[in-house]
Amino acid sequence: MNASVVLSPLAQTSGASAYFGICLVGSILVLVLAILASAIRIVNEYERLVVFRLGRCVGQRGPGLVLLIPFIDKGRKVDLREQVREIPHQTSITKDNAPIAIDFLWYYKIVDPAASVLQVGSFEAAAQGMATTTLRSVIGGILLDDVLSQREHINITLRTKLDEVTERWGVKVTNVEIREIIPPREVQEAMNRQMTAERVRRAVVTESMGTREAAINVAEGEKQAAILKAEGQKQANILVAEGERKALLLRAEGFSAALERIYSIARTIDQKTMTLQYFETLKSMGAGPATKFIFPMEFTSLLENFRKGGE
């Protein structure tokens, strides 16, 4: 036996009403959540929220939790951190009409969030265009050699000019750094030749300085050697003279002692002994080839005494 349930029209109407009520409540909850989501904004420490109320700027909010009036307030986040952007290679003409390609990096930081939103539509595009024109203007007033050698001066000039323009946008340009400078091929070849010549010049100068220092060292060494040799010769002469002086003193002392000895012995010799000594001397003289002899006067007196003694 089959049982069938037949719903009355009233029951069907009640079920449809309940389903509609659930859908309506769900839709209201979703709408409320969407409104709350648009009304509650969380702003980070490095961000600020520029609030527009009915199209009018009412200031900046944040950081932290920010409540907005749904459908009336609108917010736009602005990042306050320092940013860096690259300007690709730009061909510029120097003061002496030389084409040169330069790319650089520029660093900026938003200091007035409201001005950065209200004063310029697309800040980064405007800043990039301004940086390009400023670079060409600066390079156009500098010679090619100065561009290659005065990079820091160009960095400071670019930063100053960019900062003057972006200041009204509430942006501070903190730094500009040229990354690469590409001169024309002819200039590069000339620079390579110049660098080669400079290296050769430095090598020659270094070699000449080394030769000069070596010659100075040799001369200084010879000078010191001559001084030392002279000092040694001086000391040697002093020692030789000192030795000779001592030798002469010793010889003189020897002669003195010998003379004293002779004198002491001579005092004991009598007249006859002296005469015999004279005879011995005459004998030695007679053995020589001489034919003439000179006798002292004392010899005659000695002979006289010798004769008297014989008698």
The arithmetic mean of pLDDT across residues 138-162, rounded, is: 85
What is the pLDDT averaged over residues 286-290? 68
The mean-pLDDT minimum among 41-45, 129-133, 155-159, 279-283 falls in 279-283
230 vs 274, residue with greater confidence: 230
Residues forming a β-bridge with 173: 108
Is-contact 51 73, C-beta < 8 A? Answer: yes
| Token pair of 158 as six digits | 């670019």
Tell how far CA 248 is from the center of its chain: 71
Alpha helix locations (H) across the chain?
A: 9-39, 113-118, 123-139, 144-149, 151-166, 185-266, 271-286, 297-310
Give the dihedral of Cα atoms 246, 250, 252, 255; nearest 10 deg. -160
Region of 97 on the Ramachandran plot (φ > 0 left; ψ -120 to 50 alpha; else beta): left
Tell me, what's the pLDDT at 299?
A: 60
Chain-wide mean pLDDT for the chain? Answer: 81
Instruction: Give the pLDDT confidence score for residue 146 in this predicted structure.
Output: 82
Residue 175, judged by CB atoms within 10 A of its CB (0-12, 13-18, 19+), counts as: middle
